[in-house]
Chains A and B, each alone.
Chain A
Amino acid sequence: DIQMTQSPSTLSASAGDRVTITCRASQNIGSWLVWYQQKPGKAPNLLIYKVSTLQNGVPSRFSGSGSGTEFTLTISSLQPDDFATYYCQQYHTDWTFGQGTKVEI
């Protein structure tokens, strides 16, 4: 099984900060990397797919990069609505999620 490891598990930040979350795959997954945002009590919301393609309607402050085994999600200027938990997901072999990164105030 491909394991996805996110870091950090929790990130404390302030509005306006630049935030970076890392996702590492246990083996090469090419560009099959997706990012979601989830708020408490809600279903996850798709942010980015194929490493860096922004889903329609997602603000441009979100961006993704990486390839192979190491990937990043960057929020260029954190907004109050961005405090949430973020998950990466691979689709190279079966499907697995990272354990999540909680972005808190």
Chain B
Amino acid sequence: QVQLVQSGAEVRRPGSSVKVSCQFSGDNFSGTTIAWVRQAPGQGLQWLGRIIPIIGAGNYVQKFQGKVTINADESTRTVYMDLRSLKSDDTAVYYCATLRESGYLDYWGQGTLVTVSS
């Protein structure tokens, strides 16, 4: 059974950056694809990118290339999502989730609210 536990809510100023963590418990962390998805208040879901820890390099949706960096620490079984040059429209709940080969997200973190406000 996989469990994902995310870091707590953050408040940031426009132009700054934020790093959200996602700690994995369960089998085969290194070979499990972890994806990041966000949801602005009252809005739908939006993919950001993914990483396979054993490979190390993140893979990003084109819209977020240069905006998001995803990396993984195998020693602590934690995946990080770094979001920079924050704007008010980056205010959202950010979720990590396990991505399976058939393209579905089956285990989800509890979500982390990032608020960008001056």
Binding site for B on A (CB under 8 A): 1, 32, 34, 36, 43-46, 49-50, 53, 55, 87, 89-91, 94-100
CA–CA, A75 to B24, complex, Å? 33
Closest partner residue, chain A, to B6 (CB atom): A43
A contact residues around B105 at 8 Å (CB): 34, 36, 44, 46, 89
CA–CA, A44 to B93, complex, Å? 12
Contact pick for B44, options A43, A95, A97, CB 8 Å: A97
Beta-carbon contact of A49 and B45 below 8 Å: no
Q: At the interface, yes or no: B17 with Cβ under 8 Å from chain A?
A: no
Contact pick for B109, options A36, A43, A96, A100, CB 8 Å: A43
Binding site for A on B (CB under 8 A): 35, 44-47, 61-62, 95, 97, 100, 102-106, 108-111
Beta-carbon contact of A95 and B103 below 8 Å: yes
Closest partner residue, chain B, to A55 (CB atom): B106
Beta-carbon contact of A97 and B103 below 8 Å: no
B98 to A: closest C-beta gap in Å: 10
CA–CA, A91 to B97, complex, Å? 15
CA–CA, A1 to B61, complex, Å? 10
Beta-carbon contact of B103 and A34 below 8 Å: yes
CA–CA, A43 to B112, complex, Å? 10
Beta-carbon contact of B108 and A32 below 8 Å: no
B74 to A: closest C-beta gap in Å: 24
CA–CA, A34 to B46, complex, Å? 14
Beta-carbon contact of B47 and A97 below 8 Å: yes
Beta-carbon contact of A46 and B104 below 8 Å: yes
Beta-carbon contact of B45 and A91 below 8 Å: no
A86 to B: closest C-beta gap in Å: 11
B contact residues around A90 at 8 Å (CB): 103
Beta-carbon contact of A94 and B104 below 8 Å: no
Q: Which of B35, B45, B106, B111 has the most CB of A within 10 A?
A: B45
Asked if A44 meets B104 with Cβ closer than 8 Å, knowing A87-B45, A96-B47, the reply is no
Beta-carbon contact of A32 and B44 below 8 Å: no
Beta-carbon contact of B61 and A100 below 8 Å: no
A67 to B: closest C-beta gap in Å: 15
